[in-house]
Structures are given as C-alpha cells and as structure tokens.
Structure 1
Amino acid sequence: MGQPKTVGVQDMQVRTARAQDAAGIARLCVDNGRDPWPAEAILSTADKLVVVAVAGAQLVGIAKTHWHEDAHGIAPAGHYLGGVIVDSSWRRYGIGQALTSARLAWIAARSQRAYYFTNKRNDSSLRLHAKFGFVQIAASEEIRTVRADDGDSKLVLFEAIL
C-alpha cells in the first residue's frame, strides 16, 4: 500500500475508533504480522481509549490504552499505553507520536501517571516514549502475562508523570 500522491500527512487526523473502522484495523494488523483485534477491542469505554489515524479515506495507524485496576507483579495498577501500529508506508511522519499524544491527553484527564512496557530492544518505542518523559521503573522477563517477542529479551516497564 503506497502513500497516495493526493493525500499527505498534513491531511492526517487522529480520532476515536468507530465500529466501521473494524475492516481497516484488521487490515492494518494483518499487514503488520499481527492478529486482528477482536471487534470489542476497537471500541472505547470509560476505562479504555482506542484511536485511529486517518489520512483521506485510509486508516494509517491505530493505538489503544488499557486500564489495570490491580497491581500485577512489578506492574502497578493504572492506565497503560497499549500497542501502536502504523502502516509501513506512513512511518516516520509523526503518526505514532500523534497517536501517543492523543492517548496521553486522555489519560491525563483521568490520572497523574501513565505506564507502558516494551521489549528492551524496541528502539523505536524507546525513542518515541522518551519524548513524552517516560522513565524506566522496572524490567522483567514477563509483565502482566506478556513475554518479550524474541523470547530471550527482557521487557522494560516505564512510567510518565502527567
């Protein structure tokens, strides 16, 4: 999927995901080697935000938050940034940053802290989240029942004060 010549990143907008985005979200997941998100996972609730980046009629990015009511191992209770997926032909245009900014603004209206975790080798994620003031607070082979994708790395847990 190449970037359309008539639509550029200047036309991109971030908004809350809608039920009619399901097909575009599924395509984006599959195109990036991920399992499609189930229909109930794409709709926001009082405790969860799902946002999409749209350029023209094309869905070019998705991201979500998670609310964890209870602490789990080294992971505190609170609002967590979930996965970000950006269409490969739209990367390096600030879409991940725009999706993260929207989610953090939503969390800031509800909490003074936000969390996220990633594989310690995920340089793109580490650089992106450092821009928002995230600092490492822990590391483990498993966080909230998630293990590192590569099987031999650790996950790192970060916190930002909002």
Structure 2
Amino acid sequence: MSTELKAAVRPAISSDIARILDVEAQAGRPLPDPGKLAAAIDDDARLVLVAGTRGTSDVGGFLGWGKTHFWGFDEGTAPTGQYLGGLTVRPDYRRNGIGTALTQARLDWIWRRAPEAWYVVNASNLASIELHRRWGFAEVARASRFHTTTFDGGVGILMRAARPK
C-alpha cells in the first residue's frame, strides 16, 4: 500500500486483545501477556488504542494498536510521567499514516493530562525517532535501561516533547 489511509482510532476493549496479539504475530514480535493487556485497557492512568479502516470492525479492518504508560516514580534519568508505550502496525499497512494517527491520538490524550510526554526508543530505530520528531520529541538521555525497558544492542534513548501551546 502506498496511499495514506484515514484510520479510525478508538480506545481498545477486552475483545480486541486477540486482534492485538494477531498484529504482533504478523509483525514477528513477541506476544504480550493477554492479562497485562487487559489490565492496561482497564487502567484509567493508561490508554490502549486500536486502529482500523473506517467503517469496519472485522479482523480484516484491524490495522494496528498503541498504548501509553504512566510511571509514578523517577528512576535514574527517567522521570515520573506519561510515556508513549508500544505501537505496532500490520506490516502490510505500514507507511500509510496508521502509526501517525495512533501517535497523535495518544499524545492528545497525554497532553490533556500532562505538560510533557516521554518516549523511550532503541537508538537503532531511526524510523521511530524520525516519526516522533514531528511532535517535537528531542533526546534527553541515553542508557541501557529506562524503567523496565531494555534495548537490543544495549542503547536506548529517552525523548521528551512539550505540550503544544
């Protein structure tokens, strides 16, 4: 696919968990724990979103998902705050605006709650780093670990963006 899609983004519900796991499997990623996904969906301090093609709710229309995470304590250079969590788009729909739509919706949610958003990324994930620069994310620190996140290759980047004025 090469044209930007208009994705319908909405909060996830428990019946979306199987579809989320399917997207992760299609992307070749380790499957998240369904119980932890369910807990995240039910947690008022977090947001789990799903994206689909407009007007569809079947598995074929399910394109990706993303989440946020709230860290309630400082750990090293990683402060307390609202963080963008993982995001996965079906491989056959990447580079079509799905990740952008999911990221914008997650940031809108965070910025209604906090003056800044945080994000950690593997230093080798240049596509993700570049994507997040459009929202003003800038590097704050590098480390092998931020909170519970470790990185293949051993280096991660902590990034921060301020809520737009």
TM-score (normalised: structure 2): 0.87
Alignment of 1:31-70 (within 5 A): 31-37=26-32, 38-42=34-38, 43-55=41-53, 56=56, 57=58, 58-70=61-73
SS of 2:76's partner is coil
Among 14, 24, 29, the residue aligned to 1:19: 14
The alpha carbon displacement at 1:45 in A equals: 2.2
Cα separation, 1, equivalents of 2:121 and 2:128: 7
Cα separation, 2, equivalents of 1:35 and 1:153: 18
Cα separation, 2, equivalents of 1:141 and 1:39: 27
The alpha carbon displacement at 1:144 in A equals: 1.1
Q: Which runs of 5+ in 2 are unaligned?
A: none
Q: Which runs of 5+ in 1 are unaligned?
A: none
TM-score (normalised: structure 1): 0.88
Q: How many residue pairs end up in the alignment?
A: 153
Aligned partners of 2:70 and 2:82 also within 8 Å = yes
Match of 1:107 in 2: 110
Cα separation, 2, equivalents of 1:139 and 1:32: 26
Q: Which amino acid aligns with 2:19?
A: G
Cα separation, 1, equivalents of 2:66 and 2:156: 19
Cα separation, 2, equivalents of 1:98 and 1:120: 23
The RMSD of aligned alpha carbons is: 1.5
Q: Which amino acid aligns with 1:41?
A: L
The alpha carbon displacement at 1:34 in A equals: 2.1
Match of 1:154 in 2: 155
Q: Which amino acid aligns with 2:37?
A: A
SS of 1:138's partner is strand
